[in-house]
Structure 1
Amino acid sequence: MNEGERFQLLNGELEAAVTTAGLAVDGGDALQSSRFQRYVTDFQREVSAHPTNPAVQEFNDKVQDATTELDD
């Protein structure tokens, strides 16, 4: 995750930002980094203003699944 997602989000491109962030989470191994986890948490906080948006819901589910896999 990088400033690209934040830029998209700030420009009103919620779905594009969430999709891009989701691709980063799909990498899986990145979630082992505490820095990356902080980026994900910060991004989730920013998109939390749109809890009913299907893209946001899918992203949050993806993060939860990836986090659960790390715990196993």
Structure 2
Amino acid sequence: MIDLEAVHKLKVEDGDVLVVPEHTSYEDAQLLAEALQFVDPGCRAIVIRGPVEQLDVGAMNKLGWYRA
């Protein structure tokens, strides 16, 4: 299960990135993404397991993320 106290942001808006604890299972992260679509159809949010800080600029560029 996802520890909701550890989720960084609960008021989700279009374009948000949600970081859940790295021990969150892939299935639970997917359930969260599906629940977000149920609550706000068409909402574009990203669910990431684990700390974002571990990605370097090169890795983010490969994923299509670019530093502004």
Normalised TM-score (structure 1):
0.35
Higher share of residues assigned strand = 2
Q: Could you state the TM-score of these two structures normalised by the residue count of structure 2?
A: 0.36
Larger Rg: 2
Higher helix share: 1
